[in-house]
């Protein structure tokens, strides 16, 4: 399984920065998990292949690129973009994004081949099959209804928290899974902003360490994602100070492959 966290900001030379403003993971160049920079940072192969977008929640940094992606591809789509999300998230997209005020309602528009957008609502812990991938949605603990996933291609499995504060449910589910190759976990704020992290339902390095202790499966690499750009260096330093051997920062733009 291949996974890439798409870039979403630039450094002073105009190159992709290691800081993450938006969330969009592309799996096997063909399925997106979240759509933060989906329109802006996908390469031409990904634009051609991605027709399935799985959302964790409806915060802007996770959906910003979705309306633009459909807009960009509107004329050339020969099948709709399928958006997989909980009913709550789909309601937010309909009411607050694709509402003719913020952006056109692509449900009501068609190109010469037909529909360009379809919603696929799912239930927590009911597996979703997309191409050769299986997604198991797990409810996590964020300010708004939010989902983490176990993603499997039949051989390889990874787990992704999405945005979350402390969660027992995520670990309960992934502890029942065998052969997880990697875990991606958020860590938005540094330890000194613990109160802000708690009120916005995110993790800090110290809380992250306690979360990781809940994992009882076989040891595997654990990658930190979703560090707030303003606190990037500080969070990275604090994560290194945790001195956890298999814990590292997921590099923006890098293609990871697990076999």
The residue range among 26-34, 41-49, 51-59, 173-181 that interacts with Zn ion, by the rule CB under 5 A, is 51-59
Q: Give CA–CA dist 109/61, Å, rounded.
A: 25
Please, which residue, 59 or 228, has the CB nearer to Zn ion?
Answer: 59
β-strands 117-121, 128-130 pairing: unpaired
CB of 189 to Zn ion, least distance (A): 12
Q: x/- site string to Zn ion, residues 218 to 237, per CB under 5 A?
A: --------------------
Q: Give CA–CA dist 211/259, Å, rounded.
A: 26
Q: How far is CA 11 from the centre of its chain?
A: 22
Here the tokens at position 187 are 């860590």
Among 59, 136, 157, 228, binds Zn ion (CB under 5 A): 59
In this structure, are residues 151 and 160 in contact, taking their beta carbons and an 8 Å threshold? Answer: yes
Please tell me whether residue 163 binds Zn ion under the rule CB under 5 A.
yes
Q: Give CA–CA dist 22/3, Å, rounded.
A: 16
CB of 137 to Zn ion, least distance (A): 16
Binding positions for Zn ion, 84-123, rule CB under 5 A: none
The residue range among 64-72, 110-118, 160-168, 242-250 that interacts with Zn ion, by the rule CB under 5 A, is 160-168
The DSSP output letter for 108 is: G
The residue range among 54-62, 104-112, 116-124, 166-174 that interacts with Zn ion, by the rule CB under 5 A, is 54-62
Please, which residue, 77 or 207, has the CB nearer to Zn ion?
Answer: 207
Please tell me whether residue 52 binds Zn ion under the rule CB under 5 A.
no
In this structure, are residues 202 and 165 in contact, taking their beta carbons and an 8 Å threshold? Answer: yes
Sign for the CA dihedral angle at 28, 31, 36, 41 comes to: positive
DSSP character string of 200-236: TT---HHHHHHHHTT--S----EEEE---GGGHHHHH
Total chain residues near Zn ion (CB under 5 A): 2
CB of 59 to Zn ion, least distance (A): 3
The residue range among 88-96, 125-133, 157-165, 243-251 that interacts with Zn ion, by the rule CB under 5 A, is 157-165
Please, which residue, 152 or 161, has the CB nearer to Zn ion?
Answer: 161
* Contact residues: Zn ion, CB under 5 A: 59, 163
């Amino acid at each position: 399984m291949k996974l890439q966290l798409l870039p979403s900001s630039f450094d002073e030379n105009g190159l992709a920065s290691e800081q993450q403003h938006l969330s969009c993971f592309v799996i096997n160049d063909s399925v997106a998990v979240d759509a933060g920079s989906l329109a802006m940072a996908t390469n031409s192969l990904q634009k051609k292949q991605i027709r399935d977008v799985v959302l964790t929640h409806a915060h802007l940094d996770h959906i910003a690129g979705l309306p633009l992606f459909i807009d960009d591809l509107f004329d050339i789509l020969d099948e709709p973009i399928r958006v997989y999300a909980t009913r709550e998230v789909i309601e937010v997209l309909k009411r607050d994004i694709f509402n003719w005020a913020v952006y056109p309602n692509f449900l009501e528009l068609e190109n010469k081949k037909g529909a360009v957008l379809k919603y696929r609502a799912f239930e927590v812990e009911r597996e979703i099959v997309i191409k050769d991938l299986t997604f198991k949605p797990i409810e996590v603990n964020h300010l708004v209804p939010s989902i983490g996933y176990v993603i499997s291609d039949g051989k390889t499995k990874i787990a992704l928290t999405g945005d979350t504060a402390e969660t027992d449910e995520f670990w309960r589910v992934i502890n029942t899974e065998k052969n997880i190759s990697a875990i991606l976990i958020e860590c938005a704020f540094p330890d000194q902003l613990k109160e802000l992290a708690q009120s916005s339902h995110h993790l800090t390095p110290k809380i992250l360490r306690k979360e990781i202790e809940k994992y009882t499966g076989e040891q595997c690499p654990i990658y930190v994602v979703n560090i707030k750009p303003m606190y990037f260096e500080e969070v990275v330093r604090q994560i290194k100070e945790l001195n956890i051997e298999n814990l590292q920062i997921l590099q923006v733009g890098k293609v990871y492959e697990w076999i």
